[in-house]
Amino acid sequence: MGEHIVKSFDDEMKGLSVELVRMGEIVVDQITSAMKALKSRDLQIAERVNKNDKQVDAINDDIEERVMSILALRHPYAVDLRDTIAALKIARELERIGDLAKNCSMRTGVIIEDEKIKGTKKILKMGRQVAANVTAVMKAYEERDAEAALDIWFGDEAIDNYCNAIFETVLTGMMADNSSVNACTQMTFVAKNLERIGDHATNIASAIHFVVTAESIREKRPKSDRTSTTIFLQEDDENGD
């Protein structure tokens, strides 16, 4: 971010960036805590995630006010305009990520009631990867690194593959033991929430790329999500019933 002739404008732009980075750190902690609640079967951690979501919402509101003030009073142009608009977009993406992390934590109570449920290790691994992606994309924002943003954009396919694998594991287990239907259903929702967080991270990457290069990413985002068409048919038993 370049220096401006008017120091107060420079301070406002830097303050906007700092607040956005802080929001990203809180959101990553929300994702990590939601996964920790699931791993440790700790509903108190899950409840903290629910309560802390208000902090994410408050920062989003603050950033929106800052952006509107800059647009109204500073009339930014060129890279400053791109940076200001991108901050608004990124804040909204982070706010949605926070909502999804909260949604994951809210489903913990049902999941941990079933000690036999399969797929927990995979979903925790997916959660770590998603948190790493959000961390990386916010670092790309802080450093205005378009190449790093592209890496996140093209790396989203790995998140989809995690989601596909979890759906296959969980739904297969559900077919084998229908007493786990409720917990398994909640587990698939968590997997989809994490997959959507990955999508929001790529949206942030796209915004960063535009700020730095003034160009949109031309390549289509690679997608491998097959969960909407995943169907499992239970085989007939030996008696043909």
Provide the whole-model pTM: 0.89
pLDDT band at 180 (very low <50, low <70, confident <90, very high): confident
Q: Minimal CA–CA distance to 140: which of 204, 72, 229?
A: 204
Tokens encoding 198: 């990955």
Q: Which CATH number among 3.20.20.140, 1.25.10.10, 1.20.58.220, 1.10.10.60 corresponds to the domain 7-229?
A: 1.20.58.220
Q: Over the stretch 8-60, which tens digit does the pLDDT of each residue have?
A: 888 999 999 999 999 999 999 999 999 999 999 999 999 999 999 999 999 99
pLDDT tens digits, residue range 123-169?
A: 999 999 999 999 999 999 999 999 999 999 999 999 999 999 999 99
What per-residue confidence (pLDDT) applies to 234?
39
The pLDDT confidence band at residue 241, using thresholds 50, 70 and 90, is very low
Is 70 exceeded by the pLDDT of residue 206?
A: yes
Question: Quick one: average pLDDT of 169-193?
Answer: 90
Nearest to 170 by CA among 224, 111, 129, 125: 111
Which of the four pLDDT bands, split at 50, 70 and 90, describes residue 220?
A: confident
Distance of alpha carbon 217 from alpha carbon 186, whole angstroms: 35
pLDDT digits (tens, 9 = 90+) for 61-120: 999 999 999 999 999 999 999 999 999 999 999 999 999 999 999 999 999 988 778 889
* In the chain, domain spans: 7-229
What's the confidence (pLDDT) of residue 218?
80
Query: With bands split at pLDDT 50, 70 and 90, how would you rate the model's confidence at 207?
Result: very high
Across 209-234, average pLDDT: 73
Q: What is the pLDDT of residue 174?
A: 83
CA distances from 22 to 105, 138, 142 (A): 21, 10, 11
Q: What is the 3-state secondary structure (H, E, C) of 68-130?
A: HHHHHHHCCCHHHHHHHHHHHHHHHHHHHHHHHHHHHHHCHHHHCCCCCCCCHHHHHHHHHHH
164 CB burial (10 A radius; 0-12, 13-18, 19+): middle
Q: Does the pLDDT at position 239 exceed 50?
A: no
179 pLDDT tier (thresholds 50, 70, 90): confident
| pLDDT score recorded for residue 41 | 93
pLDDT tier at 199, thresholds 50, 70, 90: very high
Residue-level pLDDT at 177:
82
